Amino acid sequence: MQILVTGATGFLGTALCRALVSRGDTVTALGSRQADLRQPTSLEPFNNTRYDLIYHLAAWTQAGDFCLRHPGEQWIINQQMNTHVLTWWQKSQPQAKFISMGTSCSYDPGMPLAEEHYLDGTPIDSLFTYAHTKRMLYIGQLAFRKQFGLRFATFVPSTLYGPGYHTDGRQMHFIFDLIRKILRGKLYNEPVILWGDGHQKRELIYIDDFVTSMLRLSPSLENEVLNIGAGEEFSIRHFAQLICDNVGYDFNAIRFDTTKYVGAKSKCLDITKLRHLYPDLRLTPLSEGLSRTIAWFREHESKLLPRTQGAA
């Protein structure tokens, strides 16, 4: 198949393109250097190829408190990118199925995180703008379905983890930040201070499990949203304990800073629909996924864990 991927240079895009190429697809892999999607004509160079699938992964965001500090820019940039990609799909590639990434942040945390509630209620305040740009992306797909008969699917991942994450110093998703801090504690004897009381709960999905599930379900999921997660969540303390066990650091040496921003108290996708559509889904056990992720951290130690001046 001919497949165009935006966000191909990102954490998910890299893993997705690798999987597509290895199953024999012809992939047009785009990062911002190949096509700056803030520009309305950025996809015109690809008009002459007839794509079967478009995976739209590009988004302007980071983890931590980034969304709290950049709501205006996030609104402009993500709305620009999404509008330009959707417009190009409708005008130049109407035969293609359009597959986008949603976010669990779009759900109202007071409601079940089930697909029928994707547009219901109010997302958490700190992620309000980012969440709504993702909702608007889905609404754009729905609108193009209604008016032009185009085909789409939206996949909503829980937090992705695994080898191959950023090494460029951007804010990290919680699990990578935990690994980084605990490894630094182990290697350099730095104090390990985690944000919040550690009782907030999070769900993870191993990156290859997400890619496998999305590839399996992309042909059959028609004009719908689908959550892809592990369906169970654990406290930050639990994740920290597993990492400590793996790297040989004393969990009791960790300090919890309850003055810091921690986001939602709990965030776990309802995966009833996923289990129904993909009954033989097998997920990578958490301890194994963490082990591989920690091994990847160690391989990239010079970028991810550089010794700072004055460290012991």
Dihedral (Cα; 229, 235, 241, 242), 10-degree rounding: -10
User: Of 101 and 136, which has the nearer Cβ to ligand NAP?
Assistant: 101
Q: Does 31 bind ligand NAP (CB under 6 A)?
A: yes
Rounded least distance, CB 31 to ligand NAP, Å: 3
- Minimum Å distance from CB 5 to ligand NAP? 9
Residues 192-231 that bind ligand NAP (CB under 6 A): none
Size of the site for ligand NAP (CB under 6 A): 27
For the beta carbon of residue 162, count every other beta carbon within 10 angstroms: 24
Binding mask 116-155 for ligand NAP (x = CB under 6 A): ----------------------------------------
Closest to 174 measured CA to CA, from 209, 200, 211: 200
Task: Decide: is 177 part of the binding site for ligand NAP (CB under 6 A).
Answer: no
Looking at the Cβ atoms of 177 and 190, the one nearer to ligand NAP is 177
Residue 173 binds to ligand NAP (criterion: CB under 6 A): yes
From 11-19, 184-192, 277-285, 291-299, give the range in contact with ligand NAP by CB under 6 A: 11-19
Q: Helix or strand or coil: residue 82?
A: helix
Residue pointed to by tokens 């082990």: 291
| Residue 157 interacting with ligand NAP (CB under 6 A) | yes
Rounded Cα–Cα distance for residues 14 and 297 (Å)? 17
CA dihedral 225, 160, 229, 90 (to 10 degrees): 10
Q: Which residue from 263, 271, 72, 37 is spatially nearest to 171, judged by alpha carbons?
A: 263
| From candidates 12, 150, 242, 294, binder to ligand NAP by CB under 6 A | 12
| Residue 32 near ligand NAP by CB under 6 A | yes
Given candidates 2, 19, 36, 87, which one binds ligand NAP under the rule CB under 6 A? Answer: 36
Residues 50 and 93: beta-carbon distance below 8 Å: yes
37 binds ligand NAP per the rule CB under 6 A: yes
Round to the nearest angstrom and report the end-to-end CA distance of the chain.
Answer: 53
Site for ligand NAP in 53-92 (CB under 6 A): 57-61, 81
33 binds ligand NAP (CB under 6 A): yes
Read off the tokens for 172: 């990290």
Shortest-Cβ-distance residue relative to ligand NAP: 10
Give min distance, CB of 81 to ligand NAP, in A.
6
38 binds ligand NAP (CB under 6 A): yes
SS3 235: strand
Separation of alpha carbons 307 and 298, rounded Å: 13
Min dist. Cβ of residue 109 to ligand NAP (A): 15
CA trace torsion 15, 280, 107, 220 (10° rounding): 80
CA distance linking residue 269 with residue 204, whole number of Å = 10
How far apart are the C-alpha atoms of 303 and 301, rounded to whole Å?
5
Residue closer to ligand NAP, measured from CB, 303 or 307: 303
- Residue 48: phi, psi to the nearest 5? -85, -10
Indicate the length of the chain as a whole number.
312
13 is a site residue for ligand NAP (CB under 6 A): yes
103 binds ligand NAP (CB under 6 A): yes
Binding residues for ligand NAP, per CB under 6 A?
6-13, 31-33, 35-38, 57-61, 81, 101, 103, 157, 159-160, 173
